[in-house]
Amino acid sequence: MNDNHTRKKQQSDSHSRTGLGVDVLKRAIIDHLFYEQGRYPDVATINDWYLAVAHTVRDRLVRRWISTAQTYKREGSRTVCYLSAEYLLGPHLCNNITNLGIRDEMTQALQELNQDLDQLLEQEQEPGLGNGGLGRLAACYMDSLASMQIPAIGYGIRYEFGIFDQEIRDGWQVEKTDNWLRHGNPWELRRHKLTFDVRFGGYTEQFMDDVENRFRVRWVPDRIVNGIAYDTPILGYGVNTVNLLRLWKAEAPESFDFQAFNLGDYYAAVDKKVVSENITKILYPNDEPIAGKQLRLQQQYFFVSCSLQDMLRLFLQQGEGLDKFHVKFAAQLNDTHPALAIPELMRLLIDEHCLDWDTAWVVTRNTFAYTNHTLLPEALERWPLSLLEEMLPRHLQIIYEINDRFMDEARRRMYGIDMQISRLSIIEEGEQKHVRMANLAFVGSFAVNGVAKLHTELLKQDVMQDFYRLWPERFSNKPNGVTPRRFVLLSNPGLARLIRDQIGCEWTTNLDQLKQLGGLASDTQFQTLWQQEKRASKIALADLIKQRTGEVINPDSLFDIQAKRIHEYKRQHLNLLHIITLYNRLKHNPDADITPRTFVFAGKAAPGYKMAKLIIKLINSVAYMINRDSDVNDLIKVVFFPNFNVKNAQKIYPAADLSEQISTAGKEASGTGNMKFSLNGALTIGTLDGANIEIREEVGAENFFLFGLICKEIYRIQAEGYRPWDYYQDNLELKDSIDLISSGFFSHGDTQLFKPLVDTLMTTDPYMLMADYQSYLDCQQTVSQAFRRIDEWTRISILNVARMGRSSSDRAIGEYCNEIWKVKPVPVEL
Ligand code: 26W
């Protein structure tokens, strides 16, 4: 943490590339506008000003970047490599200004240049290189690694097109291509010289290596793609550390085939270029059901091979023996998407660097650790063996060898234990064989973790029970966390200032400090200030909703928000059943005593996920009817906020009174939105699922609106035979709500539109909505009563924030560093 003295010194630094004072910032911005954009203020566009400010801030990062690289090189520091197919970074500018600690200075500098920082921030295209929880967690962890001065490199894919932009047309989701690079990207540096060959296809052959005097394997690929590094600086908060996010782009070794051109075959001339670049063209927009698409596997192998070749390059610079590779690097596999790293490191060590199998295996298994992020069977990756045979013949050989040796070890370990060994195998037998990526990830890692207490328990008791039975010591729980920099300091500056005025600002890097707020929970004056901050955020969101949807909402109503990917297990449609029930109550009795509420939904559906898209249509159809029904007199309003992404999330989390975390128990691995809402003073209504359990333990059961069946009860009911129809029959309000949907009331009389959704609920209801309906309704009634006692509500809101210290991604990264990666901070002097 740069103390005030260092900061003062930096403040006084007048160098236009590095100074942090108002005047030097002004000069730097004008310099960049002039020399970078070739513009002068009178003619400069908003985007010109944005780029000028971006380059001004980037200069301050690059200086720290170089100092960091020099320090790590000098120290030969043990380094964490985070391998993730997704990084949901969000906009860079404000985050870097916040982490440099110059938000006030930059705001003033721009004011004096007649520019508005918030307006310029709107200019930035956010890099949406992720789908949801997993990708955002990777971004939060990169922020914490840098803020805690841990030497780290984030490796991933530089998708040309990120997660689609969502538009709502006639209530339906429409996907728009995310051309985030259209205006260039000031936050990345192309590393022309840093390219690696990545092979695909072909065959392998054995040959006798006389020098090594042993047989070796040669892989003769039938196509090679180049991987080019693009580096994005990740600045820590209040430190000089700038870690590296290295994303790979695929390019053809030769971007133009002249011979083909001369022969007049113009397509062939560019064919290789197009095919190669397709690999990193677009992010797969699914965040649970796997695509199993060839291109997806190519993407996974491509970035894994580039990353490991780069790690070997960095290691060999140190001149040590490769049998010490795992001493230098700890590599975290963010779910199974990078699991091919295991056979790829084996291939590189054995085929390219001539290590023997055993040494290579010791190095490999002591390099990798694996985090599981989902228990949903349909999300557990398993690749057809035939696909691997065609695309990665050498890796399949290595996977077979790994599996044979592993199964031998397993047989030895399970001696006398009755269990089915086939479930352990990396190879899934059957008519079409598959490679189980979770099994491969386990076998090739020294540590495996879940992301919340219940999730880790279910991992041990269910999905990976056989592995846990034989290797319990490898399992641990590493509860997720979120960065308080972006999700409080940056997105809720008013609340951050209020907190700082009371307890100082150490909480931004030591979130447990928030506990001190507990003592102010009943302080009426502080409560008033707290309410004012919340109301200001609600008004800001109301304005944005007016802009984006045309809907006018009442900022004094209870803002009840569910914002996350649309998925049946997250049960946005249970939330809808509550709304329709309230509507029915008001229709039956317009004087019914309903607490005014605004229901806000936000979230994208995977383009191929029909039921999720139907749920979005139903939300908008219910909104259409209710919002225009004068009988309900604005007591309840429903809004679907389009295009939920990090930028919009930063405006939604601060404005919530109630956070909806209503997934079926046992389905949400952790959730991280739940933490962001709670950290911004929202109270949570939720099930005992994922991190809701830890949040409730921390904030106190009396300060959490709990409902629903717990995991065990669900297993029991399903084992005994779950009959959703009975709940429909026995519960009039539930029946009326379902019937209103089936009647076509929300679909202009079309009784077929929502039939698939209603039929699923009435027959299988796999996510137990019918069974949890009444408990949810009762709990929502409690919420309505509680919100009327606004001072009591505010007291609980303050307590919720005060007790959310453990939800910091710094706490999580601290646990990974001490218990898995065994890595220490390396402070950087400028
Ligand atoms: C293409 C297939 C695919 C893509 C992404 C399958 C699975 C995923 C991710 C694992 C899904 C995901 O984002 N899981 C979420 O991870 C968060 C971070 O740990 C958790 O908080 C969420 O509960 C979990 O759903």
How do residues 690-703 score in pLDDT, each as one tens digit?
999 999 999 999 99
Question: Given a cut of 90, is residue 270 above it in pLDDT?
Answer: no
Judge whether residue 289 has pLDDT over 80: no
pLDDT of residue 104: 96
Structure tokens at 525: 């004056």
Which among 373, 454, 567, 668 is the best mutation to test ligand 1's pocket, defined by most ligand atoms within 8 Å of the CB? 373
Burial status of residue 651 (CB atoms within 10 A of its CB: 0-12, 13-18, 19 or more): middle
Structure tokens at 756: 């698939």
pLDDT for res 195: 97
Q: Provide the Cα torsion 199, 202, 206, 212; round to 10°.
A: -20
pLDDT at res. 609: 96
Average of per-residue pLDDT across 754-760: 98
Q: Is the pLDDT of residue 286 over 90?
A: no
Q: How many C-beta atoms surround the C-beta of residue 743 within 10 A?
A: 12
* Burial of 407: CB neighbours in 10 Å, binned 0-12, 13-18, 19+: middle
Longest distance between any two alpha carbons in the chain, whole Å: 92
| CA 290 – ligand 1 centroid, Å | 11
What is the mean predicted confidence (pLDDT) over 452-471? 96
Q: Which residues contact 569 (CB under 8 A, 6 or more apart)?
A: 376, 663, 664, 667, 668, 767
User: Is a pLDDT exceeding 70 seen at residue 387?
Assistant: yes
R_g of the chain computed on alpha carbons: 28
Q: What is the mean pLDDT of residues 225-249?
A: 98
- Strand bridging mode 152-157 / 79-83: parallel
Give the pLDDT mean for 328-343.
98
Mean residue pLDDT of the chain comes to 95
Is the model's pLDDT at 190 over the cut of 70?
Answer: yes
Is 676 catalytic? The answer is yes
The answer to whether 405 is a known catalytic residue is: no
Q: Residue 291 pLDDT more than 60?
A: no
Q: Which residue has the higher pLDDT, 7 or 775?
A: 775
pLDDT on residue 729:
97
Q: How far is the CA of 669 from the centre of ligand 1 (A)?
A: 8
Q: Ligand 1 pocket check: which of 374, 644, 692 to mutate, most ligand atoms within 8 Å of Cβ? A: 374
Query: Mean pLDDT over residues 555-584, rounded?
Result: 98
- The percentage of the chain sitting over the pLDDT mark of 90, rounded to a whole number, equals 90
The pLDDT tens digits for 610-637 are 999 999 999 999 999 999 999 997 899 9
Ligand 1 centroid to Cα of residue 110, in Å, is 39
Cα–Cα dist 745/762, whole Å: 18
What mean pLDDT comes out for the span 284-305? 84
Q: Measure the CA–CA gap between 567 and 571, rounded to whole angstroms.
A: 7
Residue 5: per-residue pLDDT: 52
Residues 626, 628, 633, CA angle at the centre, nearest 5°?
Answer: 75
All residues at 6 or more sequence positions from 285 whose CB lies less than 8 Å from its CB, including other chains: 131, 163, 164, 175, 604, 606, 607
pTM for this entry = 0.97
- Active-site residue (options: 60, 373, 538, 613): 373
In this predicted structure, what is the pLDDT of residue 4?
Answer: 54
Comparing 783 with 276, which gets the higher pLDDT? 783
Q: What's the rounded Cα separation, in Å, for the pair 88 and 483?
A: 13
Positive/negative CA dihedral, 812, 818, 821, 823: positive
Active-site residue 27, yes or no? no
pLDDT at residue 271 tops 90: no
Burial of 435 (0-12, 13-18, 19+ CB in 10 A): buried
751 has catalytic annotation: no
For ligand 1, which residues put their CB under 6 angstroms from it?
A: 131-134, 137, 284, 286-288, 290-291, 335, 373-374, 379, 451, 480, 668-672, 690
- Residue 508 annotated to the active site: no
Q: Which of 130-139, 222-231, 280-289, 678-687 has the lowest mean pLDDT?
A: 280-289
DSSP result, 564-576: S---GGGTHHHHH
Ligand 1 atom index nearest CA of 480: 19
Query: Residue 1 — pLDDT band, cuts 50, 70, 90?
Result: very low
Q: Give the pLDDT band of residue 254 (cuts 50, 70, 90).
A: confident
Band of pLDDT at residue 14, cut at 50, 70 and 90: confident
Reported as a single tens digit per residue, the pLDDT across 496-535 is 999 999 999 999 999 999 999 999 999 999 999 999 999 9
pLDDT at 292: 62
The span from the CA of 500 to the CA of 722, in Å, is 51
Look at residue 419 in the predicted model and tell me its pLDDT: 82
Cα separation of 725 and 730, whole Å?
Answer: 9
| Ligand 1 midpoint to CA 757 (Å) | 24
Whether residue 257 is predicted with pLDDT greater than 80 in this model: the reply is no
For residue 403, how far is its CA from the centre of ligand 1 (angstroms)?
Answer: 26
The pairing of strands 434-436 and 382-384 is antiparallel
For the segment 659-686, the average pLDDT, to the nearest whole number, is: 98
Atom of ligand 1 nearest to the CA of 284: 1
Residue identifier of the C-alpha nearest atom 1 of ligand 1: 290
Residue type, 528: T
- What's the CA gap between 422 and 434, in Å, rounded? 13
